[in-house]
Amino acid sequence: MVMRRGKGFLLLIILLQQILSCRGGGGGCSPSSCGKISNIRYPFRLKDDPVNCGDQRYELSCENNITLLQLFPGKSYHVKAINYNNFTIRLVDPAISENDCSTLPRYSLSRSNFSDSHRIPTPQIPKGVNNETYASFQYRVSSNGSTQVATRELFNHVIFLNCSNPISRDDDSRFVDASPCFDEKGGHHHVYAGVEGLRVVELRDDCRVTVAASSSIFGPSHRNLSYGEIHRRLSYGFELSWMLGSVCALCDWRGSATDFKICYFDEAYQSIGCDIHCSVAEADCSKKKITI
């Protein structure tokens, strides 16, 4: 999905930053801290923070010095970092231990676990003003000089297979053998891992997917990684965006109901832009673009 960016974004960016800095430090809320995460501030809050601090939807808890985010009911992830510069939070599955490559994720997680209704461009549903708390992607304007708003996925999938027969590298080079990490008695089962888009996985009958997991540090060339490296990246964790439900809700949309509205992260300014795109011919569009 690609859209053109309109005018007036600079003013909006400045405005949003002011609103955010008011909410963040103001109201007598100082940043909270739990273990290694020392910068818990608006929209985030810790369970025991004063009620007026942060946003209830972005509540974290602190257990044994570990910061936890309950992403889905009953399913909490370890918080590794909160990035206020680009509106992401980095999480790791609670069962993954950095120093033990036999640790598999407890929860199966893929991009399909996050709502993707926003991907269908409809004027009625403004992009970035829905009430979605976390998203697996961000709309972005790249810092490479392009003015296009493009969708940036924030993580890739790691698929684990449990097969009753070995897969040879010649048969299927997408998967690496992870068995040395797992104590499979008698070698009746073989565990493989691969970095794939979920829909792409076609499997032999004697293999089943045991778990899908996520990491944010797989670039375009992730073939041929050792399983140790895949595990290391899983323990780095995956990023989610929190801008849609928080800062994007501050966008002040004006314009007709049939215009496309989009809230995006501007990489060059490291800030949020709000924009309206006409659903009609470009010629008429300039008149409708918002300015504040």
Binding positions for ligand NAG, rule: CB under 6 A: 35-36, 65, 72, 75, 83, 85-86, 88, 107-109, 113, 131, 142, 144-146, 150, 154, 162, 182, 189, 191, 210, 223-224, 239
> Cβ-count burial of 28 within 10 angstroms (0-12 exposed, 13-18 middle, 19+ buried)?
exposed
Instruction: Tell me the one-letter amino acid at 66.
Output: I
- Nearer CB in complex with ligand NAG: 46/290: 46
The C-alpha atoms of residue 201 and residue 144 are separated, in whole angstroms, by 33
Closest distance to ligand NAG from the beta carbon of 283 (Å): 25
- In the chain the first and final C-alpha atoms are separated, in Å, by 26
Closest distance to ligand NAG from the beta carbon of 292 (Å): 26
**Structure tokens that stand for 47 in this block:** 């369970």
Closest distance to ligand NAG from the beta carbon of 29 (Å): 21
Beta-bridged to residue 82, according to DSSP, are: 89
- Nearer CB in complex with ligand NAG: 188/287: 188
SS3 content of the chain, % helix, strand, coil (to 5): 20, 35, 50
Q: Measuring CA to CA, which residue among 100, 135, 149 is closest to residue 242? A: 135
- Nearer CB in complex with ligand NAG: 58/290: 58
Closest distance to ligand NAG from the beta carbon of 6 (Å): 18
Closest distance to ligand NAG from the beta carbon of 232 (Å): 16
- Nearer CB in complex with ligand NAG: 79/290: 79
- Nearer CB in complex with ligand NAG: 101/154: 154
Distances (CA, A) of 215 to 82, 96, 100, 230: 16, 12, 17, 9
